[in-house]
Amino acid sequence: MKNHPSRPSRRTFIKSLAVTSGGLVLPRVFWAQEGGGSPGKKLGIAAIGCGGKGESDLSGASKDNEVVAICDVDAKTLAKAAEKYPGAKQYRDFRKMLDEVKEIDAVTVSTPDHAHYPAAMHAMALGKHVCVQKPLANTLWEVREMHKAARKKGIISQMGNQGHTYDDNRLVKEWIAAGAIGKVKEVHVWTNRPIWPQGKAASLKPGDIPENLDWQQWLAATPDHEYSPDIHPFKWRGFLEWGAGAFGDMGCHLIDAASWALDLGVPRFVTATQVDDLTDIAWPTGSIVKMEFPNVAKHGDVTLTWYEGKKPDGTPYLPPFPEVIDMVEAFAHKDAAKVGQPSEGGWMIVGTEGVLLNKADQARDPKIWPKKRHEEFTANPPAKTLERSPKAGNPQEEWTLAIKNGKAFPFMSQFDYSVPLTELTLIGGLAMRVAGKRIEWDSKNLNVVNLPDANRFIKRAKYRAGWEYSSDKI
């Protein structure tokens, strides 16, 4: 029988990265030396992507700072942002902005998934701190390169999964450590996503490029492609080239609490047991993915199962809920027709002594079941041993405060934490593309051990000329 090494924890993940990337290089420049800081000094903030999430990301990062430059491929979106930040220089090409505006200290990246990588890499190459929306990228190779670049340049990084800043996220970790549900054996995570076209419903009908859109800049590093209203502005998430599907979109939110509480790192084995309507261009309409984490410290072997989308009959893919959960009480709702029906997204951690259930995408109001165990445990709760975020609910403010202090907070979703979390979601997507086959994943070498043909999905097949980035060239 073949002996498999245990799954890499986040700690071993970081250690192996330090070896492959030549170790940690201290920051080129900070506002203050290690342990010091200048909290009162304003940072020069730049934004790549100013609409939708980009608007809120910039709003968070701009507090007590100065917005010096803004960039968006949509002229209308850019003009709207300029009304709020009239002193900021305006650009359509982030490369030009980053090269020209010397006052930039830190950059928010709030673009479609495919453009996260070139935007963040260009910024880090110039020594700029970056806050990148989730998922960090939509290919495994790009995520790993971003991690190497951040360590090489010594910048302070952050991923925009705001749930990681919440107090309840810490509470889950403290409860698990205190034995609230015994030894953990299973994690189950579900979402109603996709809520955009995927599978055969995702078409690519050509159309006229809107006058306000710079389509070539929108494509960024991906190969040339004709414009389609089926891609931009919202439906890009469902396509293999530009998005990361439902798992990439929601996994970094929904899996965060369990991942952090158990120090899961990345799985050793992954199997997509159900994949509906996957096409050559689009992610599936519904999926179930099982992940195996051998030898989790203090728990043993743990499985995590992901459920997304709907079955062909229109009902959602959902986990089996243990009998100890009173479904009517657990899923109370003001709409009588929805009482006892699972929420559109949530997760549960199943242990030997009970179940920890959360009905939202992030750790918000988690409950222990059976009810009696929750009452007994919370009557004498464990001490709050984990430091709480000074900016709960706003990862951008947390990030800019860390920059001013001169070093990352240990509880941040900086790349040492968020790269393995993103990798977990992306290896789930890779498993969907080889549905039914149990992948043996070698995270250290970024390699599918038992299915060599699957390795073609690790890196983008082609990059546009002039848009090639890698950690060894910055």
DSSP per-residue codes, 413-473: --HHHHHHHHHHHHHHHHHHTTTT-EEEEETTTTEESS-GGGGGGSS-S---TT----GGG
Which tokens belong to 310? 């709907």
Q: How confident is the model at residue 82 (pLDDT cuts 50, 70, 90)?
A: very high
Spatial distance between the Cα atoms of 215 and 237, rounded to a whole number of angstroms: 17
Per-residue pLDDT band for 26 (boundaries 50, 70, 90) equals: very low
Q: Longest C-alpha distance within the chain, in Å? A: 66
Give the whole-number percent of the chain exceeding pLDDT 70: 92
Q: Which amino acid is at 302?
A: V
Q: How far apart are CA 408 and CA 417, in angstroms?
A: 12
> Among the listed ranges 2-16, 79-93, 300-314, 345-359, which one has the minimum average pLDDT value?
2-16
User: Does residue 244 sit in helix, strand or coil?
Assistant: coil
pLDDT digits over 370-406, tens only? Answer: 999 999 999 999 999 999 999 999 999 999 999 999 9
pLDDT of residue 25 exceeding 50 = no
Residues listed for the chain: 474
Contact residues for 283 (Cβ-Cβ < 8 A; gap 6+): 194, 198, 199, 202, 238, 239, 240, 243, 245, 246, 429, 432
Q: Which of 33-47, 145-159, 285-299, 387-401 has the lowest mean pLDDT?
A: 33-47
241, 115 Cβ separation under 8 angstroms = no
Radius of gyration, alpha carbons of the chain: 22
DSSP code of residue 44:
E
Over residues 415-426, the pLDDT tens digits come to 999 999 999 999
Torsion of CA 363, 402, 47, 229, to 10 degrees: -20
Instruction: Tokens 């202090």: give the residue.
Output: 405
* Predicted confidence (pLDDT) at residue 35 exceeds the cutoff of 80: no
Is the pLDDT assigned to residue 10 strictly greater than 90? no
Q: Are 233 and 256 in contact (CB under 8 A)?
A: no
* Confidence at 16, pLDDT banded by 50, 70, 90: low
- Give the span between the Cα atoms of 409 and 16, in whole angstroms: 22
pLDDT digits (tens, 9 = 90+) for 193-209: 999 999 999 999 999 99
Mean pLDDT (the chain) is: 93
Q: How far is Cα 164 from Cα 408, in angstroms, rounded to an integer?
A: 14
Q: What is the rounded average pLDDT of the residues 82-101?
A: 98
Q: What's the confidence (pLDDT) of residue 32?
A: 33
Place of tokens 């330090």: 18
Mean pLDDT throughout 232-261? 97
What is the spatial distance between Cα 48 and Cα 279, in angstroms, rounded to a whole number? Answer: 31
Give the neighbor-by-neighbor strand order of the sheet with 66-71. 89-91, 66-71, 44-48, 106-109, 129-132, 157-159
Q: How confident is the model at residue 38 (pLDDT cuts 50, 70, 90)?
A: low
Band of pLDDT at residue 84, cut at 50, 70 and 90: very high
| Joined tokens for residue 176 | 């698990």
Q: Give 6's pLDDT tier (boundaries 50, 70, 90).
A: low
pLDDT at residue number 220: 98
Nearest in space to 43 (alpha carbons), one of 124, 110, 128: 128
Q: Give the residue-averaged pLDDT of 332-338.
A: 94
Residue 449 phi, psi (nearest 5): -65, -45
How sure is the predictor about 37, in pLDDT bands with cuts at 50, 70 and 90?
A: low
Nearest to 355 by CA among 255, 252, 258: 258
Would you state the pLDDT for residue 29? 31
Q: Report which secondary-structure segment, H or E, holds 158.
A: strand 157-159
Is the pLDDT at 20 greater than 80? The verdict is: no
In order of their start, the domains of the chain are: 10-164+390-414+454-473 (3.40.50.720), 167-379 (3.30.360)
* Better pLDDT: 136 or 233: 136
Give the confidence band of 3 by pLDDT, cuts at 50, 70, 90: very low
Four-point Cα dihedral 58, 61, 67, 73, nearest 10 = -30
pLDDT of residue 40: 72
Tell me how far apart the alpha carbons of residues 283 and 277 are, in angstroms, rounded to a whole number. Answer: 8
Taking the C-alpha atoms of residue 107 and residue 97, their distance in angstroms, rounded to an integer, is: 11
Contact between 264 and 424 under an 8 Å Cβ cutoff? The reply is yes
- The pLDDT assigned to 11 comes to 56
